[in-house]
Amino acid sequence: MKVAKFGGSSLASSRQVKKVVNIIKADSERRFIVVSAPGKRSSDDIKVTDLLVELYHTRLENRDVSALIETIFERYQEIGAPFHVDEAILNQIRQDLQSLADIPYENNPHFYDTVLASGEDNNAKLIAGILQAEGENARYVNPQELGMLVTDEPQNARILSKSYTSIYQWRESEETLVIPGFFGYTEAGEVCTFSRGGSDISGAIVAAGLKVDLYENFTDVDGIFVAHPGYIHHPESMAEVTYREMRELAYAGFTVFHEEALMPSYRAKIPVVIKNTNNPSHPGTIIKNERSNHDNPVVGIASDEGFSMIYISKYLMNREVGFTLRVLEILRDFNLNYEHMPSGIDDISIILRANQLNPELEEELLRKIAYEIDPDELRITHDLTMVVVVGEGMKHRVGTTAESTAALARKSINIEMINQGSSEVSIMFGIHKEREQDAIRTLYYTFFE
């Protein structure tokens, strides 16, 4: 049994939906279909979800939303037209969209989520209708009916574990079920969405609940590239990657798959395959708990910019009990979240996301550290990029760090910080942001091709 999730670009037009129908028909194990809202038809197009965001703001400004509703409706109508979808389904979609013009928004914390979720909800109705018109025994299932219960955290819902038991009951269903992604219901019956891009999360939850053999995530690329195609011309794509490796890559900006979507399938030990709707015969990239192939110690190279580093050094720091605790307490008092903290005998570096800082806060923070910690040296460096070399294979092979630093040295790239956790899944290098592209390239040619 498989859960197949189709992203917005796979459902943006009737041409794309035709490919989706063929994919579903090609494999009788694809019985649980999770859909996003229609995405962009071309690079300058607008996603239906973004039109709904506009609808929300227009309502808040007390302006007329009928033109927007018509634009959104036409997107569904245009997709459904060549399939001769039952008129009743289109009427239902129109009515649902029209209701968004009337639901009250004052004192309604779920208004935004209700508006946004309609993108996926109506698309699931449409896709179920299209599958029926194509002769499939398919039906739409609302997340409430499915049992997808979530916490009451608008735009950031989390699944309640009892949902898995309810979802499991659907295993025996004879029909192909089409489920809207991106949202669930609170116990009080309110719509709550996951964070943006959250249909991947829904797919993973449905896969974990049904205990299927595979979660197929259909998108518009042939799997996950080993490095960003913006830096490397036609990079290789990965055949397989472990959840732990994927977590590290996702942290540093690999966004093919929603980061939070890894959790449910990881826990349920269900492999996820990222596949291309436009090239379904390509095997794609499989994410699983264990990787059998360790030929290359590295699976991918990622980078993420926008970091600052506070360097604190104090002679005999290692003998001072509670030193780090005091530093972290200061960070907490300033409500600052840190990402990494590599340390030496007498120094520590605290790496944080620069978007949390501003010049006044920074000055106050440094003053406080200077006053309370009395360091010998204290400085802050900005414009750092973290380059991450990821691969569980490095556990089994000596020299991955040496090869990486040698590659960076050949290009005269100064390493401001190195961090390798004892799990040996990744090595992280802090470099100046201007050298990001050079670093990615030299590391890519060291470990790939």
**Residues of this chain that bind ligand ASP (CB under 6 A):** 8, 36-37, 47, 49, 119-120, 181-182, 196-200
Nearer to ligand ASP (CB atom), residue 121 or residue 436: 121
Smallest distance, Å, CB 267 to ligand ASP?
20
Nearer to ligand ASP (CB atom), residue 36 or residue 176: 36
Answer for the pair 77, 130: CB distance below 8 angstroms, yes or no: no
Q: Looking up tokens 């499939």, which residue turns up? A: 136
Nearer to ligand ASP (CB atom), residue 120 or residue 248: 120
Smallest distance, Å, CB 303 to ligand ASP?
24
DSSP 146-210: HT-BB-S-TTS--B-THHHHHHHGGGG-SSEEEEE-SEEE-TTS-EEE-STTTHHHHHHHHHHHH
Nearer to ligand ASP (CB atom), residue 216 or residue 240: 216
What one-letter code names the amino acid at 108?
N
State the Cα–Cα distance between residues 160 and 347, nearest whole angstrom: 43
Smallest distance, Å, CB 178 to ligand ASP?
15
Backbone angles phi, psi at 94, to 5 degrees: -60, -45
State the Cα–Cα distance between residues 130 and 384, nearest whole angstrom: 49
Enter the tokens of residue 157.
Answer: 């819902």
Nearer to ligand ASP (CB atom), residue 123 or residue 308: 123
Smallest distance, Å, CB 201 to ligand ASP?
8
What one-letter code names the amino acid at 50?
D
Smallest distance, Å, CB 126 to ligand ASP?
14
Task: For 197-236, give one letter per residue: b (16+ CB within 10 A) or e.
Answer: bbbbbbbbbbbbbbebebbbbbbbbbbbbbbbeebbeebe
State the Cα–Cα distance between residues 444 and 438, nearest whole angstrom: 10
Smallest distance, Å, CB 198 to ligand ASP?
5
Residue 356 parent element (H or E):
none
Total number of residues shown for the chain: 449
Residue sitting closest to ligand ASP (CB):
199
Structure letter (DSSP) for residue 9: G
Smallest distance, Å, CB 182 to ligand ASP?
4
Nearer to ligand ASP (CB atom), residue 39 or residue 393: 39
| β-pair partners for 219 | 276
Closest by Cα among 100, 129, 164 to 14: 129
Smallest distance, Å, CB 181 to ligand ASP?
6
Smallest distance, Å, CB 372 to ligand ASP?
43
Residue 30 parent element (H or E):
strand 30-35
Nearer to ligand ASP (CB atom), residue 140 or residue 182: 182
Smallest distance, Å, CB 258 to ligand ASP?
7
Nearer to ligand ASP (CB atom), residue 181 or residue 271: 181
State the Cα–Cα distance between residues 67 and 56, nearest whole angstrom: 13
Nearer to ligand ASP (CB atom), residue 5 or residue 31: 5
State the Cα–Cα distance between residues 179 and 140, nearest whole angstrom: 6
Nearer to ligand ASP (CB atom), residue 155 or residue 437: 155
